[in-house]
Amino acid sequence: MLKKILTLFLVFGILVCSNGVASAALTEGEYSVKAFGYGGELEITVKVEGDKITDIILGEHHESAEVIDRAFPVLKERILEANSPEVDSVSAATFSSFAIKQAVADAIKQAGGPELKIEMKSNLEKPYVDKEDLNTEILVVGGGPAGLAAAISAKQTNPEVDVTLIEKLDILGGNGKFNLNFFGIYNSEAQKAANVEDSKEKWLESMSKSLDSPERKEVWAEGAGNVDAWLRDMGIELNHYYGNRGHMTDKDTYAGDNLLHGLENEAAKLGVTIITGTKGTDFVMDGKKVIGVSVTNNNNESFNIFAKATIIATGGFASNKEYLKEYAPGYEVLNTSNQIGTTGDFVKVFEKNGMKLEHMDTISVFPNILVPERDLTNCGAGTILVNSTGKRFVNERVRDLEFGKAILEQDVAWNVVDAKKIEDNANVRKQVKAGKWLTADTFEELADLMKVDKANLLATIEAYNKHAQDKTEDEFGHTPEREYLPTGPYYAHKVEAANHMTKGGLACNEKAQALYEDGSVVEGLYGAGEVTYQSAGFSQSVIFGRIAGENAALSIQK
């Protein structure tokens, strides 16, 4: 399938090049060009031999590694195949793609070629085509943590089963690849090394307020206790434990990118057929049984993929303002920290087929994301939010819609932290190292950089520290956990609150089988991850992905 997609890109690319690169004699050589991507300036070196682009080398850049490491090889292959930068951008990496395409176009001009017009998303017009249907035994829809875990688990349960995974974006990993923390697990090697005593009983007690059914909590608890060993069998090690069942690869390395790269590699090693740029649009039904999915790919080809079992893992709807307004009114005013694929593609499909949706109004708000980058950032102890007057305006330890609205009411909201935060918080530490935060040795200097009232900021810090020292509640109902350090450096960045994930979704039982509104099982359909209702996020997606994959594989052995 991937070869067919690349072949079509080549065909369209040649048509473009007949009026572009290939029509001009280029001067051979290496051309280094700079352009601006999502994270700032990046450098590209383009090698030209004859009238062909023979290599593209990504140099210094500030793009997110989680995205660029996956997107650049795809875009490079498209450009080399077409011998032109006038190709489709990589979905989920639009700004980075545009920068790279523009840099290649500038290099071509330097080499004596034509001036090319680069589009943000696509330079290719593709006619609609009906394509021949495909068949598989297990179809996984969605290539994030839940989908990849499901595909791997299915192959581990029955190595002979044919598993196909489709992903609508051009790169895998979902939102999981950005996550700092693989949380909510116990019995891990990192816990043992830290001499932390934990158990299934303690885990279940901590989840007593979860709205998941008792049966789902039971299998979830079992999975939370053995998922670390499962990951380690694949070479995925989370060796840094920092309390409250939180795990990272190490103190300075996020869990998400490491974990998702490991899952992607394992799925490929096990022989899972992976098709990117292919979006599920509807179920193929035989009465009340799901027997496949209708899809459309990047080449505007539509077809069905028939399967004996289908696992839906398409994520939530945090990026769909229309659905937020419909199912969780009020939350649509907030931005999202989730990736662009969370558009709730199957919500209306579930409804149309009488499948049960639950807790659709339950949204997880993350207090602070960087503006405009949208990176998750500090919201813990030692956080002060101030507006352009240098004054606080909200309880910084709240995580709800009203908190988000309070930020939106300000002309600007600054997150101000001290040197201890750099030691304690991996998010901030990484972002400061990348040069994203304003940095100053004193609060006076920081106020100048922020362009806020200096006297007000100093008074705000003094009042905050006084409440921390006295352990007293401030006017916003917050008792600071600690005071600011007497010496800098100090840091600031503009922030806002965001819809981090939608917790509501398709109802599933403890075997990850989807349910109809009357509680009966939807034959042939399993669900995992944010597309379902779940109390937690990252680790729960992986755990129920495993459960879905195992039960789907067992179901087709009968």
Residue 2 confidence (pLDDT) above 80 = no
Residue 356 confidence (pLDDT) above 90 = yes
pLDDT for residue 557: 76
Quote helix, strand, coil % in the chain, to nearest 5: 35, 25, 40
Phi-psi region of 444 (alpha: psi -120 to 50; beta: other; left: phi over 0): alpha
CB burial of 440-466 (b: ≥16 within 10 Å; e: otherwise) equals: beebebbbeebebbeebbeebbeebbe
- In angstroms, the Cα distances linking 117 to 12, 129, 217, 489 are 16, 27, 54, 45
pLDDT for residue 198: 96
User: How much is the average pLDDT of 309-336?
Assistant: 97
Distance CA 112, CA 134 (A): 45
pLDDT for residue 18: 36
Residue 10 confidence (pLDDT) above 50 = no
pLDDT for residue 66: 92
Beta-carbon neighbour count of residue 112 at 10 Å? 11
Q: In which band, very low, low, confident or very high, does the pLDDT at 7 lie, cut at 50, 70 and 90? A: very low
Q: What percent of the chain has pLDDT over 90?
A: 86
pLDDT for residue 12: 31
**CATH code 3.90.1010.20 for 2-110:** yes
Beta-carbon neighbour count of residue 14 at 10 Å? 14
Whether 148 and 260 have beta carbons less than 8 Å apart is answered as yes
Residue intervals of the chain classified under CATH 3.90.1010.20 are 2-110
What is the H or E stretch that residue 130 is in?
Answer: strand 129-130
Query: What is the tens place of the pLDDT at every residue in 156-168?
Result: 999 999 999 999 9
Beta-carbon neighbour count of residue 275 at 10 Å? 18
pLDDT for residue 236: 98
pLDDT for residue 99: 95
Residue 56 confidence (pLDDT) above 70 = yes
- Which residues, at least 6 apart from 464, have a Cβ–Cβ distance to it below 8 Å? 384, 392, 474, 480, 483, 484
Average pLDDT value over all residues in the chain:
92
Distance CA 203, CA 117 (A): 57
Query: What is the tens place of the pLDDT at every residue in 166-203?
Result: 999 999 999 999 999 999 999 999 999 999 999 999 99
Q: In which band, very low, low, confident or very high, does the pLDDT at 5 lie, cut at 50, 70 and 90? A: very low
Cα radius of gyration rounded to whole Å, the chain: 25
In 463-530 the beta strands, taken as DSSP E runs, fall at 490-502, 505-506, 513-515, 521-527
> Sign (positive/negative) of CA torsion 271, 277, 283, 285?
negative
**CATH code 3.90.700.10 for 363-499:** yes
Residue intervals of the chain classified under CATH 3.50.50.60 are 135-362+503-555
Query: What is the tens place of the pLDDT at every residue in 496-553?
Result: 999 999 999 999 999 999 999 999 999 999 999 999 998 788 999 999 999 999 999 9
Helices 454-470 and 443-450 pack at an angle, to 10 degrees, of 130
Distance CA 544, CA 282 (A): 22
pLDDT for residue 123: 60
**Span between the terminal Cα atoms of the chain, in Å:** 29
Phi-psi region of 509 (alpha: psi -120 to 50; beta: other; left: phi over 0): beta
Reduced to 3 states (helix: H, G, I; strand: E, B; else coil), residue 345 is: coil
Reduced to 3 states (helix: H, G, I; strand: E, B; else coil), residue 269 is: helix
Reduced to 3 states (helix: H, G, I; strand: E, B; else coil), residue 54 is: strand
- Identify which of 372, 367, 376 has the alpha carbon closest to the alpha carbon of residue 407: 367
Residue intervals of the chain classified under CATH 3.90.700.10 are 363-499
Cα 311 to chain center, whole Å?
19
Q: Two tokens at 452? A: 């806020």
Reduced to 3 states (helix: H, G, I; strand: E, B; else coil), residue 70 is: helix
β-pair type (278-286, 289-297): antiparallel
User: How much is the average pLDDT of 400-429?
Assistant: 95
Residue 330 confidence (pLDDT) above 50 = yes
User: How much is the average pLDDT of 130-144?
Assistant: 96
> In the CATH scheme, what is the homologous superfamily, with its name and number, of domain 135-362+503-555?
FAD/NAD(P)-binding domain (3.50.50.60)
Residue 348 confidence (pLDDT) above 90 = yes
What DSSP designation does 401 have?
Answer: H
Distance CA 499, CA 320 (A): 11
Whether 292 and 314 have beta carbons less than 8 Å apart is answered as no
| pTM reported for the whole predicted model | 0.92
Query: What is the tens place of the pLDDT at every residue in 450-471?
Result: 999 999 999 999 999 999 999 9
CA angle 94, 95, 98 (to 5 degrees): 85
Query: What is the tens place of the pLDDT at every residue in 275-289?
Result: 999 999 999 999 999
Query: What is the tens place of the pLDDT at every residue in 217-227?
Result: 999 999 999 99
Whether 494 and 369 have beta carbons less than 8 Å apart is answered as no
Query: What is the tens place of the pLDDT at every residue in 241-270?
Result: 999 999 999 999 999 999 999 999 999 999
What is the H or E stretch that residue 30 is in?
Answer: strand 29-36
Reduced to 3 states (helix: H, G, I; strand: E, B; else coil), residue 381 is: coil
